[in-house]
């Protein structure tokens, strides 16, 4: 177990390193923080911290920088979440209040997060898995052509074109629309398959083929859309910490384009609260020198999706966590209102 002072030393190292982006030495530490002890003592503490793997030297006889393990301890034990100031909270609310639809909410959220944290922001579209069906609409575009429109309670809309095996009358369509909605409206997506199973039986023989086609398209849409989408913003911020590496920024950009990877990382944790994944804790190799701060958000108490930021491991964790938490909270409010 580390002594209290050594923890303070670690905290000071993290803070200084995050601020200056340069390895921090014992002398500088004692000057900038009132630890009440001499550099020599700090050196001993640093040696101990290094033995334990919390900090490391990039080169012999240089200052120390925190390791992933050091950041982990910092986040878990040494740092709180820095709350947003009142003006910041107002700005967040104002900015989000102007949104006109779901796309706009997500787009604004991404911009906002990117600006607040000056890092890359990632916002997952509200998930369909935990959502409910608000309405299913069927439109006849041609005698044997139907458009299926699925509307969720989060305001998301998905549509599919369906080529029917046989012409399908306007009255049959209205009938199907009514029966379908009476069964699935307000229900969870996961429940839909059972709910519509026996629906074709209520129709004339000639229409059953079309009804089945429509239903299977609906189920397909539900499944496909479980591959949720992401919106990403603030990639220009990557250049801020790229003086050392076009080498490091490339895999990050690649990871950001591979939305599957990001979705997996975001989804991995079931923790309802905030998650911080530091450096090598991210399973994906290209993100080994970044940290991801994410949190669930949703309209009710229930989280329906995640949002977060991707930044260098040397990030301002308290500030970032504060911003992420605040934004998630306000987005939840906005979604609940609409």
Residue 55 near residue 46 (C-beta atoms within 8 A):
yes
Question: Which residues, including other chains, have CB under 8 Å from residue 19's CB and lie 6 or more apart?
Answer: none
- Determine if 36 is a binding residue for DNA (CB under 7 A): yes
Size of the site for a copy of itself (CB under 8 A): 33
Min CB(242)–a copy of itself separation in Å? 5
- Select from 17-25, 68-76, 177-185, 275-283 the region that touches DNA (CB under 7 A): 17-25
8 binds, among a copy of itself, DNA, none (CB under 5 to 8 A by kind): none
Pick between residue 27 and residue 82 the one whose CB is nearest to DNA.
27
- Determine if 311 is a binding residue for a copy of itself (CB under 8 A): no
Nearest to 16 by CA among 46, 59, 47: 46
The tokens describing 78, both together, are: 């040494």
CA distance 287 to 256: 10
CA distance 296 to 308: 9
Residue 28 near residue 34 (C-beta atoms within 8 A):
no
Pick between residue 47 and residue 253 the one whose CB is nearest to DNA.
47
Min CB(42)–a copy of itself separation in Å? 34
- Determine if 50 is a binding residue for DNA (CB under 7 A): yes
Pick between residue 70 and residue 298 the one whose CB is nearest to DNA.
70
Q: 10 Å Cβ neighbour count for 69?
A: 17
Candidate residues 32, 249, 288, 333; the one interacting with a copy of itself per rule CB under 8 A: 249
Distance of CA 134 to the CA centre of its chain: 24
- Select from 55-63, 69-77, 89-97, 194-202 the region that touches DNA (CB under 7 A): 55-63
Pick between residue 62 and residue 142 the one whose CB is nearest to DNA.
62
- Determine if 254 is a binding residue for a copy of itself (CB under 8 A): yes
* Residue 198 backbone dihedrals phi, psi, to 5 degrees: -95, 15
Which DSSP letter does residue 186 get? T
Min CB(133)–a copy of itself separation in Å? 12
Task: Lay out the site mask for a copy of itself across 98-117 (x = CB under 8 A, - = otherwise).
Answer: --xx----------------
233 binds, among a copy of itself, DNA, none (CB under 5 to 8 A by kind): a copy of itself
Nearest to 286 by CA among 261, 318, 260: 261
Exposure string of 164-184, with b = 16+ CB inside 10 Å and e = fewer, is beeebeeebbeebbeebbebb
CA distance 317 to 279: 13
Candidate residues 48, 81, 147, 195; the one interacting with a copy of itself per rule CB under 8 A: 147
- Select from 6-14, 63-71, 191-199, 229-237 the region that touches a copy of itself (CB under 8 A): 229-237
3-state secondary structure labels for all residues of 229-282: CEEEECHHHHHHHCCCCHHHHHHHHHHHHCHHHHHHHHHHCCCCCCEEEEHHHC
- Determine if 223 is a binding residue for a copy of itself (CB under 8 A): no
- Determine if 111 is a binding residue for DNA (CB under 7 A): no
- Determine if 234 is a binding residue for a copy of itself (CB under 8 A): yes
Q: Which residues of this protein are in contact with a copy of itself, per CB under 8 A? A: 100-101, 134-135, 137, 139, 141, 147, 149, 151, 155, 157-161, 224, 233-236, 238-239, 242-243, 246, 249-250, 253-254, 256-257, 338
């Amino acid at each position: 177990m580390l002594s209290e002072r050594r923890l303070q030393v670690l905290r000071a190292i993290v803070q200084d390193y995050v601020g200056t982006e340069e390895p921090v030495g014992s002398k500088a530490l004692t000057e900038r923080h009132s630890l009440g002890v001499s550099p020599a003592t700090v050196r001993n503490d640093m040696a101990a911290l290094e033995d334990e793997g919390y900090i490391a030297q990039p080169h012999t006889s240089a200052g120390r920088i925190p390791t992933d393990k050091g950041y982990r301890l910092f986040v878990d034990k040494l740092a709180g979440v820095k709350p947003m100031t009142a003006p910041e909270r107002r700005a967040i609310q104002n900015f989000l209040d102007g949104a006109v639809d779901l796309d706009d909410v997500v787009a604004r959220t991404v911009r906002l997060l990117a600006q607040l944290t000056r890092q890359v922001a990632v916002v997952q579209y509200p998930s369909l898995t935990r959502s409910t069906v608000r309405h299913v609409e069927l439109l006849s575009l041609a005698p044997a052509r139907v458009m299926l429109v699925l509307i969720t309670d989060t305001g998301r809309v998905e549509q599919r074109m369906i080529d029917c095996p046989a012409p399908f009358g306007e009255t049959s369509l209205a009938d199907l629309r009514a029966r379908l909605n009476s069964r699935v409206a307000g229900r969870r997506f996961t429940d839909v398959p059972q709910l519509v199973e026996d629906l074709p039986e209520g129709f004339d023989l000639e229409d059953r083929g079309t009804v089945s086609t429509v239903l299977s398209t609906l189920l397909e849409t539900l499944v496909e859309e479980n591959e949720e989408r992401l919106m990403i913003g603030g990639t220009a911020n990557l250049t801020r910490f790229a003086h050392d590496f076009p080498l490091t920024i490339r895999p990050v950009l690649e990871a950001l384009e591979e939305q599957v990877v990001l979705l997996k990382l975001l989804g991995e944790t079931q923790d309802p609260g905030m998650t911080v994944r530091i450096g090598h804790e991210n399973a994906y190799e290209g993100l080994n020198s970044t940290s991801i701060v994410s949190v669930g958000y949703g309209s009710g108490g229930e989280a329906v999706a995640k949002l977060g930021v991707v930044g260098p491991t040397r990030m301002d964790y308290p500030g970032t966590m504060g911003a992420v938490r605040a934004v998630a909270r306000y987005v939840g409010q906005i979604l609940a209102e609409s």
